[in-house]
Amino acid sequence: MKITKWNKYKLLRDSDQLRSHMPKTKRLTVDHFQSMLNRYGTVVVKPLDGSGGKGVIRVRKTGSDEYEIHRYSRKWKVSGLREAYRAVKRKQEKRVLIVQRYIRLASVRGRPFDLRIMVQRRSKKTQDWTVTGRLAKIAGKGYMITNVRRSGGRVTSAEKAIRMSDIKGKDEAKQLLKQAEQISVASAKKLARTFTFIRRVGMDVGIDKNGKVWLIEANFRPSLSLFLKLSREAYNKIKRFG
């Protein structure tokens, strides 16, 4: 099976344990674009094979036939579904895109954040996955993507981000992090049944303002430099694990 966001989504969606933590996702067509906007009001469109937040666009329905497009730090409005659809397809005509329910992530001082949770196993022959690191990625000013390099955001500890956030149940930070880690490990186990070569996965996990945990993405080639920004100790722990 080819490694794409769509294939990973289908595998994880097949799990009873994980399904409720997966934002609804479909291949981008005009019909799917319209039905998802009608149902959720706001969606995210992203390349099937993209990484680093490149090409991610948020579309929000603001009126009966008015839409706000948010690409990187720029926002603008268009009239008509067809014009909104053309806006997300522009410059990406040759790329396969997916449309996903937009999850309003919790924020720190108005800037959304998600968690990067590292899960690893010592051998391809075992299903004994371990959480070896976690941190929070806080988006840069004006951005809705949390990719630190692209948005000019910053890294901090997961605990600190939750404590400073607008999450209603932030007093239960330990429980939120425990759930995020459990979902990350379960996801790695599920994916490894098909992608048997993986030993290190960086899970992007979001928490919305109501304290619900969402699995955003599973990265098979996660950047370890994020953890070096957090601390040398956190980075070395992941490297030592192998």
Cβ–Cβ under 8 Å, residues 13 and 22: yes
- The pLDDT value given to residue 177: 95
Q: What local confidence, expressed as pLDDT, does residue 238 receive?
A: 96
Higher pLDDT, 131 or 50: 131
SS3 80: coil
Of the ranges 3-7, 53-57, 152-156, 168-172, which is most confident? 152-156
Instruction: Please count the other Cβ atoms lying within 10 Å of the Cβ belonging to residue 217.
Output: 17
Structure confidence at residue 19 as a pLDDT band (50, 70, 90): very high
pLDDT-based confidence at 93, cuts 50/70/90?
A: low
Question: Which letter, b or e, does each residue of 73-103 get, where b requires 16 or more Cβ atoms within 10 Å of its Cβ?
Answer: eeeeebeebeebbebbbeebeeeebbbbbbb
Rounded to the nearest 5 degrees, what angle is found at the Cα of 200, between the Cα atoms of 220 and 96? 5
For residues 59-65, average pLDDT = 93
Average pLDDT, the chain: 93
Answer yes or no: is pLDDT of 27 > 80: yes
Over residues 33-52, the pLDDT tens digits come to 999 999 999 999 999 876 66
Residue-level pLDDT at 108: 96
